Structure 1
Amino acid sequence: MKIFKWLVPIFLVVFLSACGHRESETERPKGRTIKAELYTTSTVEISLLRELPGTVEAKVRAKLSSKVAGFLKEIRVEEGDRVKKGDLLLRIEDRDIRDKIRALRAGILAAQKDLAEVSARLAFARAEFERYRKLFEEEAVTAQEFEAKKSEYEALSARKGALSARIKELRARLSEAESLLPYTTIRSPFDGQVLRKWVDTGSFVNPGQPLLEIEDTTSGRRVVFHPEETLFSTIKPGLEVFVRFPAKGKALRVWITEVVPEVDPQTRTFTAKADLPKNYQVLSGNYVQVFVPTGKTSRILVPKTALINRGGFYGVFVADKSGVLHFRVIRIGKTFYQEGANFLPVCLKTDCKAYVEVLSGLHPGEKVVVKPPEGVREGDRIAEGA
């Protein structure tokens, strides 16, 4: 009897549980019929691109340096200023050069005055020398008197020669000093923008010392990058490459314009350059990603909109032959963008259609929901004609 008393409650619990289970099975909703676009997977050819870092620079730039020594008297520009060709940028103190020019001119005038005086005396001494030479031949004067006139004539001739050489030297020095005077004012060689300023007013500068760096804003900009030496046979002038500025998002199609035929022995890289569109708005020094074509391969791609993230795992809804949806976890790779019949890992337009590389989890010919509706779940069915 005691055992029976214990069995009755247990039987009731099991019975009620079974009833509840049947009721829940009865109330469980059936799969819904939904409308959604399907994408049939297939193996497509994609372009393989090698990503390399690059830098934007002006096609024409100039480092302006001093050709004379002196203190900076005036600087009229700051970094970032726009300048026109011929604009005065800075001025070096020219007082010492002007003082030197005045001294040389005064020296030339004094030497010319001495030369005129010596020339007059030399003319008289030459006449006396010729007269005494004849008299000496006639034995009308002594040898001592003749030698005195001869010595005077030769001394004045030497003096005239020295003064002439001195004047020539002073004129050469004057010409050199006058040629330095224009270098005390530095002007812009072209329309451009000041990139760097290395000096301030009052600084003492030496010949050859960099003062300013200016880029030409009318000649356009280019991308400079340094591929490894193994790509030297691939990267040639005229090769189509793609560049992408992270801040802008979309990429550009450009062409290689210059390849430097030299490999850096330290980095084992060489230099390549590609011109940007002339009016493309980008700053010198900007970081840019360069994508170099290296070949093609085949992959399964699915629209990026088909992906669903569940707890860090990506998956898609796959419709079976009956149209019933099943969620399947997949492993994905890189993102590609459709450009005509090509699939590239860069977007060349504002609104690119994105696809994701499927590394595992799908096979060609399977149908994937492109944009899963909100609330879609396992067991839902795709409506006929969807």
Structure 2
Amino acid sequence: MMMRAETTRFALLLAGLFLAAPASPATAQDVAPLRVGTLTIAMQPINPAKEFVGRIEARERVELRARVTGFLQDVLFQDGQAVKEGDLLYRIEPAPFQAALSRAQGALEQARGQAAFADQQYTRAQELLQSQAGSAAMRDQRLAEQLTAKGNVQIAEANVQAAEIDLGYAEVKAPITGLIGRTSITRGNVVGPDRGVLTTIVSQDPMHVAIPVSQREFLTLKSADRVAAKDELAALIHFSDGSPYDHPGKIDFVDVSVNKATDSVTMRAVVPNPNGRLIDGQLVRVTLQLETPVEKILVPQAALIADQQGFYVFVVEDGKAAIRRVTLGNEIGTSAVVDSGLAVGDQLIVEGLSTLRPGAPVSVRPAAVLPAKAG
């Protein structure tokens, strides 16, 4: 019995010594290198872009008003139809204006007759004065009558011209080509300059898009030389449902002052609108993009790892995995722009990241994943 107890204590002691004995540390040579896929960092041409909210504006917008007072005789268009410059839209009753023109023309003929008679009287007085049968006073009186008659002719001619203008205003024509809105008044009503807007016409092709850009974003654009030449900026439009518009625009104007109410600078793009998809007053998302590519470093977003300090990636240094902290810019497709932290020629690890640790030896092979390029 005593021998069995001693044997048991000896076995437990050996087991304790075995468990307590430290394992021999594995050397780097004992650890098999992890197989990883890498990309060699290189500069790539991209088009930097920033997104803003813009509003579509018609390039030309006209509020039609009657320029003479009268009864509206005809409305010669359908609400919402396309009209061309010069199309007749409204007709105001012309009879009163035709009568006024006839009166003015009659007064002009009277004035011309009186002017002709004054010319004859002045000529006769001049001849009598030369033959000493008349006086200088009579000649001067006839001269004054002649000048007065000429003035009356000019007044009568101006009255005829004004009457012709008023008669022309009895026909309200389209001053621009575009889409016409709903008429605010129907035939039989009295219209006039003080009776409000008859309707509105907005041009359709091309359209403008106004883009308010905050001072901070505007300065960022300028500091990056992205508005060094506004002709290089393309405006890509997306509708509110996210669908893209198929015609890019061009920046044609940058406001000369800051809007104090919104602390923003307004940029404007001109956009083709051949199919009429853009509507005056419509809100859209606008991406400002350089047409001249800028060289940047792109990395796949799958290679980025985030922690409390920010983003980092793994690179290969002396055959081992090493951490590099990176500062990111915009996202481009499935890739991200790296503003700092990586250099051309670095080997970025993009595959085999799940079991990777800093300092782990790695076996390198080319990765199948490539960073997307901006169009």
Q: How far is 1:288 from its partner? A: 1.0
Match among 158, 183, 207 for residue 221 of structure 1: 207
Cα distance in 2 for partners of 1:84, 1:68 equals: 20
Match of residue 236, structure 2, among 242, 245, 264: 242
Rounded Cα–Cα distance in structure 2 between residues aligned with 1:196 and 1:270: 34
Residues 297, 192 of structure 1: alpha-carbon distance in 2 compared, 3 angstrom cutoff: same
Q: Which residue of 2 aligns with 1:260?
A: 254
Could you tell me how far apart the structure 1 residues matched to 2:99 and 2:266 are?
Answer: 49
Task: Map 1:309-328 to 2 at 5 A.
Answer: none
| Total equivalences in the alignment | 260
Q: Per-residue deviation at 1:106?
A: 1.4
Residues 271 and 129 from structure 1, CA distance in 2 versus in 1: closer, same or farther, beyond 3 angstroms?
same
> 1:226-272 deviations in whole A, cap 9, x for unaligned?
11123162443322443211336346573533132323332222222
Structure 1, unaligned runs of 5 or more: 1-39, 135-145, 303-335, 345-362, 368-386
Long gaps (5+) in structure 2: 1-36, 291-295, 304-330, 338-349, 355-375
Kept in 1: contact 2:250–2:271 (CA 8 A): no
Q: One-letter code of the match for 1:242?
A: L
Report if the CA contact (8 A) 1:48-1:297 is conserved. no
Contact in 2 for aligned 1:192/1:216 (Cα 8 Å) = yes
| Residue 162 (structure 2) pairs with residue 162 (structure 1) | no
Counterpart CA distance in 2 for 1:41 and 1:286 is: 47
| Offset of residue 61 of structure 1 | 2.2
Q: Does 1:183 align with 2:179?
A: no
| Partner residue, 2:266 | 271
Question: How far off is 1:166 after superposition?
Answer: 1.0
| SS of equivalent residue, structure 2 residue 231 | coil
Question: How many angstroms apart in 1 are the aligned matches of 2:276 and 2:117?
Answer: 72
The Cα of 1:97 is off from its aligned counterpart by 3.7
- Alignment of 1:68 onto 2:64: no
Q: 8 Å contact 1:83–1:194 — kept in the other structure? A: yes
Does the aligned pair in 2 maintain the 1:66–1:183 contact within 8 Å? no
Correspondence for 1:376: none
SS in 1 for 2:264: coil
How far residue 64 of structure 1 moved from its aligned partner, in angstroms, is 4.7
| Secondary structure of the structure 2 residue equivalent to 1:243 | strand
Distance 1:163 1:113 in 2: 9
CA RMSD of aligned residues (A): 4.3
Corresponding letter in the other structure for 1:171: E
- Tell me the TM-score normalized by structure 2: 0.55
Say whether 1:192 aligns with 2:192.
no
State the alpha-carbon separation in 1 of the partners of residues 158 and 269 from structure 2: 48
- The Cα shift of 1:69 comes to 2.7
Q: Deviations over 1:196-247 (max 9, x none)?
A: 6455542433289654332334x33343221112316244332244321133
Counterpart for residue 91 of structure 1: 91
Cα gap change, 1:189/1:196 in structure 2, threshold over 3 Å: closer, same or farther? same
Residue aligning to 1:205: 192
